[in-house]
C-alpha cells in the first residue's frame, strides 16, 4: 500500500522540519502583534481564519492516508513541489511583515490617518500576505501527496481569506476612503494583473 511521503521516513523528517520552519513564526508574530490604531472592524474574521485553518489542517491530515486519494504517480515530485510552495508562501508572508512593520496587526483595524502601504509586493497586490498564506496551505496539502488533503486544506483557508478580505476592504474604504479606493483600482487582490 502506498503511503503519503510525509508519513514515511526520511521524508517525514523533511516535511516536519519545513512545516515547523514555516508555521511557528506565524504563531509567534500574531501572538506578539499589538492592536493598531483605529477601531477594531474585524467582524470575527480572525476567528474565522483560525477556525477554518485548524479544521482544514486536521481534516487534511486525517484523510492524507486514504489510498483512494493519494497522488501515486510522481509522488516525490508532488512532495517536493508542495514543500517549495509552502516555503515560497512563508517567504512572501515574511516579506509582507517586514514591509508592513508597525502597521501589521493580527486583526482588522482601520483609521482615517493610516497610510496606504504601496512598498514591496504591495505595489502590485493589495493582500500579498493572504496570498502567501494560501500558498502555504496549498503547499502543505500537496506535500501530503493527497489530492483530497489539498482540496480540504486549501479550500478551507481560501474561503476564510475571502471573507477576511471582504471585511478588511470594507473597513479600509470606510476609514481611509478615496486613497484606498484609488489603490484598489490600480491593484489586484491576490495575484498581480490577474485576480
* Residue 128 parent element (H or E): helix 128-143
* pLDDT tens digit sequence for 22-62: 999 988 776 666 555 556 678 888 889 999 999 999 999 99
User: Would residue 3 be called left, alpha or beta, if left means φ above 0 and alpha means ψ between -120 and 50 degrees?
Assistant: beta
β partners of residue 109? 40
- In tens, the pLDDT along 75-104 reads 999 999 999 999 999 999 999 999 998 888
> What pLDDT was estimated at residue 111?
82
Distance CA 195, CA 191 (A): 5
**CATH of the domain spanning 16-28+40-186:** 1.20.120.1630
What are the backbone angles phi and psi of residue 39, rounded to the nearest 5°? Answer: -80, 150
Q: What is the pLDDT of residue 68?
A: 92
d(CA 25, CA 63) in angstroms, rounded, equals: 26
Predicted local confidence at residue 176, as pLDDT: 92
Kindly report the backbone phi and psi dihedral angles of residue 188, in degrees, each rounded to the nearest multiple of 5, phi listed first: -100, 165
Average pLDDT of the chain to the nearest whole number? 91
Q: Are 126 and 189 in contact (CB under 8 A)?
A: yes
Give the CA angle between residues 149, 152, 158 to the nearest 5°. 130
Among 192, 152, 172, smallest CA distance to 109 is for 172
According to DSSP, residue 69 is labeled G
Question: 55 burial class (0-12, 13-18, 19+ CB within 10 angstroms)?
Answer: middle
Q: What's this model's pTM, rounded to 2 decimal places?
A: 0.92
Q: What pLDDT shows up at residue 103?
A: 83
Joined together, the cell numbers standing for residue 125 give 497586490
Report whether pLDDT(181) > 60. Answer: yes
**119 DSSP 8-state letter:** S
Count Cβ atoms below 10 Å from residue 149 Cβ, excluding itself.
Answer: 30
Amino acid at each position: 500500500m502506498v503511503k503519503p511521503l510525509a508519513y514515511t521516513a526520511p521524508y517525514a523528517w523533511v516535511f516536519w522540519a519545513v512545516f515547523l520552519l514555516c508555521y511557528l513564526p506565524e504563531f509567534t508574530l500574531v501572538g506578539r502583534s499589538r492592536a493598531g490604531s483605529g477601531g477594531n472592524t474585524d467582524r470575527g474574521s480572525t476567528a474565522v481564519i483560525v477556525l477554518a485553518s485548524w479544521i482544514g489542517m486536521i481534516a487534511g491530515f486525517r484523510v492524507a492516508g486514504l489510498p483512494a486519494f493519494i497522488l501515486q504517480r510522481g509522488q516525490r515530485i508532488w512532495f517536493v513541489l508542495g514543500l517549495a510552495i509552502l516555503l515560497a508562501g512563508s517567504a512572501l508572508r515574511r516579506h509582507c511583515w517586514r514591509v508592513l512593520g508597525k502597521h501589521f496587526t493580527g486583526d482588522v483595524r482601520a483609521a482615517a490617518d493610516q497610510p496606504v502601504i504601496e512598498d514591496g509586493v504591495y505595489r502590485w497586490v493589495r493582500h500579498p500576505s493572504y496570498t502567501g498564506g494560501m500558498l502555504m496551505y496549498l503547499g502543505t496539502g500537496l506535500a501530503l501527496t493527497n489530492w483530497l488533503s489539498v482540496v480540504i486544506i486549501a479550500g478551507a483557508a481560501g474561503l476564510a481569506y475571502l471573507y477576511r478580505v471582504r471585511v478588511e476592504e470594507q473597513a479600509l474604504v470606510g476609514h481611509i476612503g478615496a486613497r484606498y479606493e484609488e489603490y484598489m483600482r490600480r491593484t489586484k487582490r491576490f495575484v498581480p494583473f490577474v485576480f
